[in-house]
Chain A
Amino acid sequence: MGIRTLRKFMAAALLSGCLAAAQGAAADTIKIAVAGPHTGSSASVGEQFWHGATQAAADLNAAGGINGKKIELVKGDDACEPKQAVAVANRLVDVDKVKAVVGHFCSSSTLPASDIYAEAGILQMTPGSTNPKVTERGIATIFRMCGRDDQQGTVAADFVVKRLKAKRIALIHDKDTYGQGLVDAFKSRINKLGVKEVLYEGLTRGEKDFNALVTKVKAAKADTVYFGGLHTEAGPLVRQLREQGLKVNFISGDGINTPDLVTAAGGKQFVDGIYMTFGLDARNLPSGKEVLEKFRAAKIEPEGYTLYSYATLQAIAAAMKATKSTDGKKLADWLHKNKVNTVLGPKEWTPKGDIKVSDFIMYRWDATGTAKEVK
């Protein structure tokens, strides 16, 4: 591990040197960071963040920018690794001097990075970190555009117990902040509904062989598997469940919502029937129609978190316009009190920074490799 850390540190140091040299020319822009996994196994989500934010910045700049200044986006890559998230957050604050942050994605990256932004008094809004702790630590300048895992877990638990009538539920997580947090939220809800889990285990991120765990699920005679984690592990796990002949229900959260799930599973036939929780598909909302056409004109399908990232930048821009400031404290105060019309519809925030109304619903993947809402 030491080598990897060193390499990332060196890369960050090298990069910050280049950026420092390039600075100075851009005084009449407002720099906003888009931080997330732009490389690594979750890079497809980073790509969604980037697509959403670049389109939003282009649209806002075309409409005159913020208080006469144009938005300039800065990419911050955490590769979904906590240590790199800290390094990149320091770079964004100290070298790039960004005024606000769209990001990060993995909750385990968002948590350590948020301390650095909070200390610097910079506004941070995450389009996709759902772990409750993100907004539970008394940081005034943090917000999210998505729901929370306790809400997400509850929606999934109700669905599994009441709709699927599951009796024997196996819980599997990836030992990460997000995955385990989600599974714990799910667990407390099914326990409340009177169902006790038959298995509670954590797998290792980056591994591909979960056959021993799958046999254990079989031995526990589970009828349902709930998985908290990302598509990179969900894919091989569901494949090996099917290969060992288990026809159990497979339910997971927002972390698997990328077309790369099909790649990770190694075929569309394996994702058929997977259930997942995710926010309302903004592509079906009237507020998103115009933006949706712009994306499609640019040959980008705004799936997953793309429109969440778009809406996050909209909210940050709205606060900057209204307060005529980039001060994190002032922006946060404004966002706590006001409603913003975004591509996802009107959004309001609680004093903690959570959205007031969460919109998790159930989706089901089908044999064509796409997820559709469960009616």
Chain B
Amino acid sequence: MELHIFAQQLLNGLSLGAIYGLIAIGYTMVYGIIGMINFAHGDVYMISAYLTAIAMSVVFSFGVDSVPFALLIILAVAVLVTAAYGWVIERIAYRPLRGSTRLAPLISAIGMSLVLQSYVQVSQGARNQGIPTLIKGSLRIGSDTKFVQMTHIQLLIVAVTVAAMGALTFVIQRTSLGRQCRATQQDRKMAGILGIDTNRIISTVFVIGASMAAVAGVLVTLNYGSFDFSIDFITGIKAFTAAVLGGIGSLPGAMLGGVILGMSEALFSGFVNTDYKDVFAFVLLVVVLIFRPSGLLGKAEFEKV
């Protein structure tokens, strides 16, 4: 086996894993605070892909030709609108069910996912959409024939994922908002008695989760150049798997789970067989969950009797 091929597969896995990790952050944050799996998260990511394309065509129609400036505007538009979606989804699909059983919001999340997907399919059409290549070029190390490379956009994705994870960890661990989040997570009623507006905290978490999905939507769309209304499904499932693998509720766990999932897919595909890479990835998940039921970095939950 040639070394540069092996290194390249690791990098392929890293960039794929970073994408999973970026989307997994949204799953893991919502779960961490209210113990609910937000199945509509993948759809929010899909919507941000459409917003990217719309914002891009508007930005270019105003004759903006500086790429970093255009990218900033696109990112701002996508994050703001997607965050609004996150807030509205929480407001109409989850908050009314706050007091009911644990399964009720799960079902309304699935319903929300179907609503969003169908809404985009009807309003935007079923055909796949594309955007022009905004960030070109790649970083290559090695000789002309034997090199390892990452495209600039892949490097950007890894950097943004690490930065986002760091920033969110800081917010959760060090700020007043973070303390309120953790208090809400530990005991919602008690937090409420102590003067924390728990509804507002939960809304904030959804807005942050949706913003992360928007960042992922922009970067992933720029990376692959095309998308359609059904991209939520496979990517959403994989990101969710990454969150579970790393330990759902843990931010570094989302990143770790994403990278492990991405790398195991890339290495199995690259050196064994592409047909069964997903089988391998899920076998890995099962094995991890057998030995560590709450994931690699997850905290074990104790039921108080």
Give every chain A residue within 8 A of B121 (Cβ-Cβ): 39
B180 CB → nearest A CB, Å: 34
A260 within 8 A of B: yes
B127 close to A43 (CB less than 8 A): yes
A207 within 8 A of B: yes
Size category of the B interface is 35 or more
Residue of A nearest to B269 (CB): A212
Q: Which residues of A does B touch, CB under 8 Å? A: 3, 7, 38-41, 43-44, 175, 201-204, 206-209, 211-213, 215-216, 218-219, 232, 235-236, 239, 243-245, 260, 262-267
B126 close to A206 (CB less than 8 A): no
A40 close to B16 (CB less than 8 A): no
Residue of B nearest to A40 (CB): B126
Q: Give chain B interface residues in 86-113, CB to chain A under 8 Å.
A: 110
A236 close to B226 (CB less than 8 A): yes
B270 close to A209 (CB less than 8 A): no
What DSSP secondary structure best describes chain A's contact surface?
helix
Q: Which residues of B does A touch, CB under 8 Å? A: 2, 5, 8-9, 12-13, 15-16, 19, 110, 114, 121, 125-133, 138, 140, 147, 149, 151, 224-226, 228, 230-231, 233-234, 265-267, 269-270, 273-275, 277-278
Q: Give Cα distance in the complex from A41 to B19, angstroms.
A: 22
B269 close to A219 (CB less than 8 A): no
B226 close to A3 (CB less than 8 A): no
Give every chain B residue within 8 A of A43 (Cβ-Cβ): 125-127
Give every chain B residue within 8 A of A213 (Cβ-Cβ): 269-270, 274
Q: Contact check: which of A39, A201, A211, A265 meets B226 at CB < 8 Å?
A: A265
B252 CB → nearest A CB, Å: 23
Give every chain A residue within 8 A of B266 (Cβ-Cβ): 211-212
| Contact A208 to B230, CB < 8 A, known contacts A39-B121, A213-B269, A219-B270 | no
Q: Give Cα distance in the complex from A181 to B19, angstroms.
A: 33
Give every chain A residue within 8 A of B228 (Cβ-Cβ): 41, 232
Give every chain A residue within 8 A of B269 (Cβ-Cβ): 212-213, 216
| Contact A175 to B275, CB < 8 A, known contacts A40-B126, A263-B128 | yes
A267 close to B225 (CB less than 8 A): yes
A269 CB → nearest B CB, Å: 8
The 10 nearest A-B residue pairs measured at CB = A266-B225, A263-B130, A43-B126, A212-B266, A212-B269, A211-B12, A201-B274, A39-B126, A202-B275, A219-B5
A208 close to B138 (CB less than 8 A): no
Q: Give Cα distance in the complex from A260 to B103, angstroms.
A: 41
Q: Contact check: which of A7, A40, A263, A265 meets B230 at CB < 8 Å?
A: A40
A266 CB → nearest B CB, Å: 2
Q: Give Cα distance in the complex from A239 to B265, angstroms.
A: 20
Q: Give Cα distance in the complex from A212 to B12, angstroms.
A: 6
Residue of B nearest to A266 (CB): B225
A218 close to B5 (CB less than 8 A): yes
B127 close to A260 (CB less than 8 A): yes
